[in-house]
Structure 1
Amino acid sequence: MKWLILIVAGLFEMGWAIGLKYSQGFMKPIPSMFTIMGMIASFHFLSLALKSIPLGTAYAIWTGIGTVGTVTLGIVLFKESIDITRLVFIGFIVVGIVGLKVVSSN
């Protein structure tokens, strides 16, 4: 359950990161509202996960999920670059996330 909570926190991080783009510097009220709600939810779920997952592991996985998801959504939603080098380095992040989960004692 603790890992599912951390994944949910990472998904909300993706949501608020994408929301920042749509809010245009918090100038658009509706996207800004959803962005702030996503931030609150993301931090809430991260704080719950931190009760049983070590800080360094949880933080790295949380930001990793957010990073990989945000890059993926940036490619899909905003037609950002699909450069092979970029994808290789995103793959390294995924390997790091999986590695941290595998070696975690919790």
Structure 2
Amino acid sequence: MPKFITIGYGDQAGYEGTDAGIRDAAHAHDARLRDAGVEMGIAGTPVQVRNHDGAGVRTSEGSFMKSELPVAGFAVIEAESLADAVRLVSETPCAVAQGVVEVWPLRESP
């Protein structure tokens, strides 16, 4: 079955500005996804890793990607299609609490 990486973006203000009942339903939805085997978690502080031309590893703390909202979490999901993956994430906290969720198809590497 195809796999997808999801990246949820959202901030505390958007979360708190969303009706508590909607947030609770979104968290219950995430619990059902986890129970079904979806691997998901809250984003920690990222570290950038570089080893240009194999000349030595350099790291720096902080994200490389930039967005209006901070990264809130990630998930790896399996779905029959992109449309099915979108349906699965459309009820998660980031999607309903004034944030956004990106869905990235994960293809096999050569």
What is the TM-score with the length of structure 2 in the denominator?
Answer: 0.25
Q: Considering Cα pairs closer than 8 Å and 6+ residues apart, tell me whether 1 or 2 has the greater RCO.
A: 2
What is the TM-score with the length of structure 1 in the denominator?
Answer: 0.26
Larger radius of gyration: 2
